Amino acid sequence: MGNDGKGLSIAGLVLGIVAIVLAWFSMINIIALIAAVIGLVCAVKGKQAATAAGAPTGLATAGLVLSIIGLVLSAICFLSCTLCVLCTVGCAGLAA
Partner 1 sequence: MFPYFEIFGKVIGSYAVASVVGMAVCVFVACRLGRAYQITFEDILLKMVYIGVGLVIGGHAVYGITQLPRLWELVTHLSDYTLLEAGSVVVTCFGGMVFYGGFLGAMAGYALNVRKVVGERRKVLWDLFALVIPLFHTFGRIGCFLGGCCYGKESSWGFIVYDNTLQPDINGVVRIPVQLIESACNFCIFLFLLFLFKKKLQSGNLLFFYMLIYPVVRFVLEFYRGDVIRGFLWGLSTSQWISILLFAVALYQLLWKRRRGRRPLEAEQ
Q: What residues line the site for partner 1 (CB under 8 A)?
A: 37, 40-41, 44, 47-48, 64, 68, 72, 75-81, 83-84, 86-94, 96
Q: Which residues of 36-68 are buried (b: 16+ CB within 10 A; e: fewer)?
A: bbbbbebbbbbbebbeeeebebebbbbbbebbb
Min dist CB 82 to partner 1, Å, is 10
Dihedral angle sign, alpha carbons of residues 68, 30, 23, 73: negative
Q: Which is nearer to partner 1, 28 or 84 (CB)?
A: 84
Q: Which is nearer to partner 1, 7 or 52 (CB)?
A: 52
Min dist CB 91 to partner 1, Å, is 6
Min dist CB 41 to partner 1, Å, is 6
Share of the chain residues as helix, strand and coil, in percent rounded to the nearest 5: 85, 0, 15
Min dist CB 77 to partner 1, Å, is 8
